[in-house]
Amino acid sequence: MKIGICGATGAVGKEVIDVLFKRGFKVDELNLYASERSAGKVNKTPFGDVTLKEFSLDEAARNKIVFFCVSGEFSLQYGRDLAARGVIVIDNSSAFRMDLDVPLIVPEINPEMVHGHNLIANPNCTTAILAVALYPIYLHFGLKKVIVSTYQATSGAGQPAMDELMEQSRVVLDGGAPTATEFAYPIPFNLIPQIDKFQENGYTKEEMKVAWETRKIFGNENLAISCTAVRIPTLRAHSESVTIETERPVTVSAVKELLLKAPGVRLVDDIVSSPAKYPMPLTASGQYDVEVGRIRQNLVFGEHGLDFFVCGDQLLKGAALNAVQIAELVI
């Protein structure tokens, strides 16, 4: 099968290639598209060396599936045209996610929605990681309210942002004053409670994406979600502290049983052992499954309330893995 990747040298693009290889996806021809500046360079991949090409609709239309791992602007410019030529376009940007005619897919949740569509949207990273843990609970107990605070890694802002965290951390350790290029403020030994632009309602776009996209993926426009999205000095796994109110009474043991069987989820919840076990970037990074733990009956919603903690690899379930899972669904 001919597979194309736009943005093949970015943090997500690199992971898509890696995940395609590791999951044994049938790739007969791998076409990597990059900017004019990078075209002609040779890229080492697990499939062998591949020369980067400049993107054009005619060139890209030769593929069966093209992954867009680029900016929303690029997606808006080419996504629909390429899909109209019969190519399956799996778009990682937010360009089409809320379009009524474009399905927004988490394969563990709404796989049936892909049918009949060439243009398919991959959710926001924070949303995908949350949704895969939340959905089994939603199905069995119903959800009235979801309150999320995130601990998001620098990978969400791309490879240069990860590099900036590493480089500027060294500056701080050497006694210097860190500078910021990829972020609004220095990120080492700091946090930044803003991801993406502010909206009219005081939330950031990242925070609203979690609300908008979770509602669309679950097919429930009335789900009440409030999110606070915070960038912290970690590299590639997003964590989320989640408080929920369920429609029906819920217990910790019932939810643990559910999550043990849930696809895409790894229950990491052992507060008895020493050291205790719970989701952390240290263990969730590089893993396909989203870690869920710290599950407890909460103190604000009583028997209808649960608190838990989630950690998932932003570049995998939050991006590349979910995109490749969508491709697997399609073929």
Q: List residues binding a copy of itself (CB under 8 A).
A: 145-147, 149, 151, 165-166, 169-170, 173, 184-186, 189-194, 198, 201-203, 211, 224-226, 228, 230, 232-235, 239, 241, 243, 252, 271-272, 275-276, 278-282, 293-300, 305, 307, 309
CB atoms within 10 A of CB 173: 10
Residues 6+ apart with CB under 8 A from 115: none
Minimum separation from the CB atom of position 209 to a copy of itself (A): 13
As a residue count, the chain comes to 331
Q: Minimum CB separation from a copy of itself for residue 117, in Å?
A: 29
Identity of the residue, 88 or 195, whose beta carbon is nearer to a copy of itself in the bound complex: 195
Q: How far is the CB of 272 from a copy of itself (least distance, A)?
A: 8
Catalytic one of 125, 227, 304, 311 = 125
Angle (CA) 310 108 15, round 5°: 70
Angle at 322 (CA atoms; ends 258, 6), nearest 5 degrees: 175
Nearer of residues 52 and 225 to a copy of itself, judged by Cβ? 225
69 is catalytic: no
The least CB distance from residue 201 to a copy of itself, in Å, is 6
Strand 237-246, strand 305-313: pairing: antiparallel
- Cβ proximity to a copy of itself: between 107 and 293 the closer is 293
Please identify, using beta-carbon distances, which residue of 226 and 287 lies nearer to a copy of itself.
Answer: 226
Give the angle subtended at the CA of 122 by the CAs of 97 and 316, to the nearest 5°. 150
Catalytic pick among 6, 69, 227, 238:
238
> Based on CB atoms, which residue is closest to a copy of itself, 60 or 146?
146
> Smallest gap, in angstroms, from Cβ of residue 151 to a copy of itself?
6
Starting from the edge strand earliest in sequence, which strands make up the sheet with 53-54, in order?
A: 53-54, 29-34, 2-6, 65-68, 88-91, 119-121
Of the candidates 285, 327, 227, 217, the one whose C-alpha atom is nearest the C-alpha of residue 11 is 285
CB closer to a copy of itself, 22 vs 170: 170
**Shortest CB 322 distance to a copy of itself, Å:** 23
Cα 39 to Cα 3, 27, 31, 54, distances in angstroms: 17, 21, 12, 5
Query: Is the CB of residue 153 less than 8 Å from the CB of residue 230?
Result: no
Q: Least distance in Å: CB of 275 to a copy of itself?
A: 4
Question: What SS3 state is found at 112?
Answer: helix
d(CA 241, CA 46): 36
* 131/83 Cα distance (integer angstroms): 27
How many CA atoms does the CB half-sphere of 250 hold within 13 Å? 31
238 is catalytic: yes
37 and 62 in contact (C-beta within 8 Å)?
Answer: no
Active-site residues, by number, are 125, 238
